[in-house]
Each structure stands twice: as C-alpha cells, then as structure tokens.
C-alpha cells in the first residue's frame, strides 16, 4: 500500500489465514526461519514484539498470534486491518492463527501469501513450546524441509519469574525449552529478586543465554538482531561437544551508568571460562557507595572495592580480552545484570575461580 492509498482510506488486499493448505509452498530461497517467542502470562511478550517490529531490521517478518484482538500492537505500526491480519510498517504482517488446530497449515499460508523473511510465533502465556516443536518433528519430511526452527526465546518477568516457576509447570517448561532467556522488567524489580531469578534460571536451564536490552535505539537494534538469530536448540541431541582450539584474541569493552548486581556480573565473567584471559575495570555495583574493581588475572577473578566515587558519576567501564569473544553477546548479558534500584542486594565483595 502506497502513501496515496493511505491518505485516501484505501487498504491493501488483506492476507487471510485458513486451513485449506496441507503442504508448504516451494520457494527458491532457503528454509524460512521460524522463531517461537514464549513466556508466562504477563511477562512482556507483546512489548518485545512491538520493539522488534519498530526496529528497522530490513526484513519482512510475519508475526503469528493466537488471538489478534488481545494483542496490543503499537497503533503507529499498523497500516491496515483486514480480517485476521494486520498489515504493518516495513512489509511485516501480524496474523491470527489457531496454534492447536492449524499451526502448520497457517504458516504455509502465510509464507505463500506474504513471502516473509522470518516467521515469529507468539505463544499464549500457558503454552508449552516443546509441544509445538514435537508437532513440527511429526510433519512429513518434505514439509519440514521448508521451515527451519531458528530458536525458542522465553521472556521471563524479573519480579514474578521465580514464584511463577515454583507454582506453575508451564512457566518451568517454557524456560527449560528455550535456548535464550529474555529478562524483562529489570527497571521495576528489586535487586534481590533479580539475583534470585538469575540463580533460578541457571538451575532450570544452565545452557541458555540470559540477556536483557535497555529501552534505547541501541538496545532495540540489538534485541531485534538477537531475536532473529538462528540458534541450535537446547536439550536436543546433536553433534559432538565443543572442541577447544586456540582462537583469535579479541578485546571487547563495556560501559554503562546503570548499577549492576554483583553475583550475576561474576557469573557472566566466570561462564567465559578459559576463553577469558583478562578483564579489568571499574564497576558501579548496586548498593555500594565505593568504586568497584573487577579483575581477572590467570585463573582468578576478583571483585574488590576502593574509595568512594567522590562526586564522580558512578559508571562501569570494563575491558575484556579473550579468545573469540563476542562483544555483542557480552553486552546483552551484562545488561541483564542491571537493576533499577541502587540499594543493597547482598553485594558480593570478592569471588574467585
């Protein structure tokens, strides 16, 4: 739909979802990446979708939702409505789909009609994404070849997530199936709750990456790229494990004025393992008036404290040196250590590995 059509109130021909198709359309392009966005009730999945769709990622994205009327897509992104489809800016579409009855037929229809570069399914808050993956694996081989499951991202509420995983099997299942965990509501969660959540996530799914993205252009662009990456699925049989090899040394830097939680910060550093050769810099730790100093030398990592910031605005400034470090991954993992509150969160004074 062009600008003239919009001004005159005309809408583009709507896409319509139906279950008449029983096979996926053949396209000359590669497999269509298919991402599952899950998370318990109220975790913030729709907020994540709005950030994804608003970012200028240069790709046509088809977003599938279980109930179109209940999803609050930002009205500024909507170009037209037609039946069970919203036409969105940037060539993207948002489509209603019955996950239980016609998911794969619906995806086939979306691919045929809108030719997306990527399909994103937002599950309901009580869905179990493993059941969706199991359904995909039961498809005939010819149909499976047209879709590539790019990953399962679970949005986890920093305030309520721990309690939800203790009360609800669905919340645990969503986290256990994911290859990426997106921590939401860090701006309102208390520091102790965030520390406890990081512990719980490591307990339920230690292989998944935990990340967060600040509400900024940089954060939105990083979030968009991260959500649409193709990842190996966690918990599924695969090839041989990682073989250690000598990699290229990379220097990565991180700067942030937001207070960080000590325990999750140290966990990010320690998970780099032998690949991390050196880290050094000042750290703004939540609940601590003194300037933090983080250092990794040899096999030992330490977090110590010196003088107060003495009128200087507290700010984290770190430099990492290691083999094949991914600076973007480091940044989003360190963002997940943020807290909105600068009160004491049981800050760890020193740790060693």
Residue 154 reports pLDDT greater than 60:
yes
What gap in Å lies between CA 72 and CA 83, rounded to an integer? Answer: 16
Read off the pLDDT band of 244 (50, 70, 90).
Answer: very low
CATH number at residue 171: 3.40.50.300
pLDDT in tens, 316-326: 999 998 888 99
241 occurs within a structural domain: no
189, 55: one domain? yes
pTM beyond 0.85: no
pLDDT in tens, 155-199: 999 999 999 999 888 999 999 999 999 999 999 899 999 999 999
289, 321: one domain? yes
344 occurs within a structural domain: no
pLDDT in tens, 295-305: 987 778 899 99
What gap in Å lies between CA 163 and CA 335, rounded to an integer? Answer: 23
What gap in Å lies between CA 273 and CA 4, rounded to an integer? Answer: 57
Q: Which residue has the higher pLDDT, 19 or 273?
A: 273
pLDDT given for residue 228 in this prediction: 94
Average pLDDT over residues 133-150: 83
What average pLDDT is seen over the chain? 78
87, 21: one domain? yes
pLDDT in tens, 331-343: 999 999 999 866 5
32, 142: one domain? yes
- Flag the least confident range among 9-18, 60-69, 338-347: 9-18
352 occurs within a structural domain: no
220, 262: one domain? no
Read off the pLDDT band of 249 (50, 70, 90).
Answer: confident
Residue 9 reports pLDDT greater than 60:
no
Average pLDDT over residues 54-66: 79
Q: Which residues of 211-225 are buried (b: 16+ CB within 10 A; e: fewer)?
A: bbbbeeeebbebbbe
pLDDT given for residue 127 in this prediction: 86
Q: Are 69 and 49 contacting, i.e. CB atoms less than 8 angstroms apart?
A: no
Q: Which residue has the higher pLDDT, 161 or 16?
A: 161
118, 221: one domain? yes
173, 293: one domain? no
CATH number at residue 272: 3.30.1220.10
Q: What percent of the chain has pLDDT over 90?
A: 41
Q: Which residue has the higher pLDDT, 89 or 11?
A: 89
24, 133: one domain? yes
Which DSSP state fits 145?
A: T
243 occurs within a structural domain: no
Residue 4 reports pLDDT greater than 70:
no
61, 197: one domain? yes
209, 322: one domain? no
Give 168-219 as a 3 state SS string: CHHHHHHHHHCCEEEEECCCCCCHHHHHHHHHHHHHHCCCCEEECCCCCHHH
Residue 65 reports pLDDT greater than 90:
no
Average pLDDT over residues 41-52: 88
Q: Are 291 and 305 contacting, i.e. CB atoms less than 8 angstroms apart?
A: yes
What gap in Å lies between CA 253 and CA 255, rounded to an integer? Answer: 7
Number of domains in the chain: 2
Average pLDDT over residues 25-29: 44
207 occurs within a structural domain: yes
209, 292: one domain? no
pLDDT given for residue 237 in this prediction: 34
214, 282: one domain? no
Structural domain boundaries, residue 267: 249-335
pLDDT given for residue 21 in this prediction: 31
């Amino acid at each position: 739909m062009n600008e003239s059509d919009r001004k005159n109130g005309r809408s583009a021909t709507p896409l319509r979802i139906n279950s008449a198709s029983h096979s996926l359309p053949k396209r000359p392009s590669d497999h269509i990446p298919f991402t599952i966005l899950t998370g318990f009730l109220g975790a913030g999945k729709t907020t994540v979708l709005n950030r994804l769709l608003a970012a200028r990622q240069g790709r046509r994205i088809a977003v599938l939702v279980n109930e179109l009327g209940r999803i609050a897509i930002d009205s500024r992104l909507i170009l037209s409505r037609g039946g069970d489809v919203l036409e969105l800016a940037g060539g993207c579409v948002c489509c209603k789909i019955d996950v239980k009855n016609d998911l794969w037929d619906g995806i086939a229809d979306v691919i045929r009609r809108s030719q997306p570069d990527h399909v994103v399914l937002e599950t309901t808050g009580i869905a179990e994404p493993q059941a969706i993956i199991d359904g995909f694996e039961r498809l005939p081989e010819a149909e499976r070849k047209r879709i590539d499951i790019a990953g399962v991202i679970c949005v986890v509420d920093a305030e309520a997530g721990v309690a939800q995983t203790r009360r609800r099997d669905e919340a645990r299942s969503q986290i256990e199936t994911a290859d990426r965990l997106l921590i939401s509501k860090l701006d309102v969660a208390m520091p102790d709750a965030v520390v406890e959540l990081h512990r719980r996530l490591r307990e339920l799914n230690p292989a998944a990456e935990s990340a967060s993205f600040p509400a900024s252009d940089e954060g939105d662009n990083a979030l968009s790229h991260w959500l649409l990456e193709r990842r190996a699925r966690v918990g599924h049989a695969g090839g041989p494990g990682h073989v250690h090899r000598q990699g290229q040394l990379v220097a990565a830097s991180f700067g942030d004025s937001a207070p960080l939680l000590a325990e999750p910060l140290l966990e990010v550093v320690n998970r780099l393992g032998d690949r991390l050769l050196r880290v050094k810099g000042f750290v703004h730790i939540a609940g601590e008036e003194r300037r933090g100093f983080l250092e990794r030398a040899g096999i030992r990592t330490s977090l110590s404290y010196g003088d107060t910031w003495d009128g200087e605005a507290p700010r984290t400034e770190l430099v990492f040196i290691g083999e094949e470090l991914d600076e973007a991954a480091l940044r989003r993992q360190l963002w997940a250590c943020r807290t909105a509150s600068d009160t004491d969160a049981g800050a760890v004074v020193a740790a060693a590995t």
